[in-house]
Amino acid sequence: MQTISSVPASGRAQRARLAERVRRVPSSGIRRFFDLIQTMDDVISLGVGEPDFVTPWHIREAAIYSLERGYTMYTSNHGLIELRRALAEHLARRYGVVYDPHEEILITVGVSEGLDLAMRAILDPGDEVLIPDPGYVSYAPCVTFAGGVVQPVPTAPENGFRPAPEDFASRLTPRTKAVLLGYPNNPTGTVVDRDTLAAIARIVAEHDLIAVSDEIYDRLVYGREHVCFAALPEMRERTILLGGFSKAYAMTGWRIGYVAAPRDLMAGLVKIHQYTALCAPITSQMAAIEALKNGEAAVQAMVAEYDRRRRVIVKGLNDIGLTCLEPEGAFYAFPSVAVTGQSDEEFAERLLLEEHVAVVPGSAFGACGRGHVRCCYATSLAQIEEALHRIDSYVRRRKA
């Protein structure tokens, strides 16, 4: 028998060093812009989707104090039970959905890890996942890395980028395994109403699907109700709920999030987590306990500030002629750049080079994001006003 070691290396067919599913995923469209920004001075960034606030002091202090007391070890794979209990209470109080903190809540390295775990735990090669387009940049790559196949569900500005339940139904195949929802949405700021989510939930139930619901922006809604997908009829047993601390508590760098899911699904996620991440950092878990227990006033103050900025940027963009729907959640405006006659990529690149304002081309979030750009308004009002002024100059030149 010929074994690989009996064939000289020079005689073997050239093999790619990276796996096909990894090569297939393009590098992040956002990265290119950030690399360009690094080379420039005086850039106003509406690019990065990250709060400009520093984590509230009492949360940082709790973390520092935990270090002083010597909390520097691994925690249980699931995470500190005190944090899981606090999360179970939080979810029961806010959304009326009840989880067992011992077996149905997992503390993760951000929602990012939760998303990866969810996809790897549920997908067999070739399983299909329905994902509204446009959507967060990591959704499709995580599905692909897990061996799954993305089925985009188109959305459009005409209906506020809200997905239509019938568009899920019409894309079902025998291989459809899951739907992946992210509302409030990055990049559009869309919040989906209860009736629409309930109609999507009925499709999930009828076709025996799993819903993965990324609710990282649940606290960032403006005059709207956040509907927790797991709290809809029959959905608790079918939903992998992803939640986090990055956005609401301005804790992006702490890398801390959580998953809530029924026992059987959770067992799969925990199996992967315990062999890969082991646990989330203990210092961040300590900080998260403090955030949940005493962070409400800070969350509300930050949300009120985002709301102020939201109004200014939406009015400003519309006045300039970049038609912009009113985002009802998260901290992104998603205007159309049609008036300039440019593609979203051209617009973003020229705006950066000529006016030193960074926005993200909508096509980075899916084909349906084309012709739009994402402007993150988690930056000071003064910066937003200056950015609007510069965008106005740019658009005037394009129109002239």
Residues of the shown chain interacting with ligand PLP in the complex, contacts defined by CB under 6 A: 49, 110-112, 136, 182, 186, 214, 216, 244, 246, 252, 257
Selection from 138, 136, 120, 238 nearest residue 184 by Cα: 136
Determine the residue with CB nearest ligand PLP.
Answer: 110
* Min separation Cβ 287 and ligand PLP, Å: 13
Query: What DSSP string runs through 185-200?
Result: -TTT-----HHHHHHH
Which one, 246 or 363, has the nearer CB to ligand PLP? 246
Cα–Cα distances in Å, from 123 out to 78, 94, 137, 143, 361? 22, 30, 19, 8, 30
Q: Tokens 């739009």 identify what position?
A: 372
Length of the chain: 400
- Which pairs from 305-312 meet CB under 8 Å and 24+ separation? 306/220, 306/222, 306/331, 306/377, 306/378, 307/222, 308/381, 309/377, 309/378, 309/379, 309/381, 309/384, 310/222, 310/377, 312/377, 312/381, 312/384, 312/385, 312/388
Which residues neighbour 370 within 8 Å (Cβ) at sequence distance 6 or greater?
A: 343, 344, 362, 363
Between 29 and 49, CB nearer to ligand PLP: 49
The distance of closest approach from Cβ of residue 303 to ligand PLP in the complex, given in angstroms and rounded to an integer, is 16
The residues near 119 (Cβ < 8 Å, ≥ 6 apart) are 129, 142, 143, 145, 146, 148, 212
Give the Cα separation of 273 and 267 in Å (integer): 10
Task: Please report how close the Cβ of residue 213 comes to ligand PLP at its closest, in angstroms.
Answer: 11
Tell the smallest beta-carbon distance from residue 108 to ligand PLP (Å).
8
Residue (107 or 270) nearer to ligand PLP, CB: 107
Residue 376 or 395: the one with the smaller Cβ distance to ligand PLP is 376
> What is the distance in angstroms between the CA of the first residue and the CA of the last residue of the chain?
74
Nearer to ligand PLP, 251 or 388 (CB): 251
The C-alpha atoms of residue 328 and residue 182 are separated, in whole angstroms, by: 14
Q: Which is nearer to ligand PLP, 136 or 347 (CB)?
A: 136
CB of 182 to ligand PLP, least distance (A): 5
Dist CA 253 CA 210 (whole Å)? 30
Do 102 and 81 touch, CB atoms closer than 8 A? yes
Distance in Å, CB of 7 to ligand PLP, minimum: 44
Task: Give the residue with the Cβ less far from ligand PLP, 360 or 395.
Answer: 360
Residues 6+ apart with CB under 8 A from 4: 12
Instruction: Indicate if the alpha-carbon torsion angle 388, 390, 396, 399 is positive or negative.
Output: negative
Residue that the structure tokens 């999360």 belong to: 87
Pairing of the two strands 332-333 and 373-376: antiparallel
Task: Please report how close the Cβ of residue 186 comes to ligand PLP at its closest, in angstroms.
Answer: 4
If the CB atoms of residues 108 and 176 are measured against ligand PLP, the closer one turns out to be 108
Give the strand pairing for 176-181 and 210-214.
parallel
Cβ at position 115, least distance to ligand PLP in Å: 7
CB of 216 to ligand PLP, least distance (A): 4
Beta bridge partners of 4: none
Give me the least distance between CB of 103 and ligand PLP, in Å please: 22
Whose Cβ is closer to ligand PLP: residue 256's or residue 320's?
256
Q: In whole angstroms, how close is the CB of 200 to ligand PLP at the nearest point?
A: 17
* Cβ distance to ligand PLP smaller for residue 328 or 355: 328
Closest alpha carbon to 231 in 213, 219, 247: 213
Residue 337 or 378 having the CB closest to ligand PLP: 378
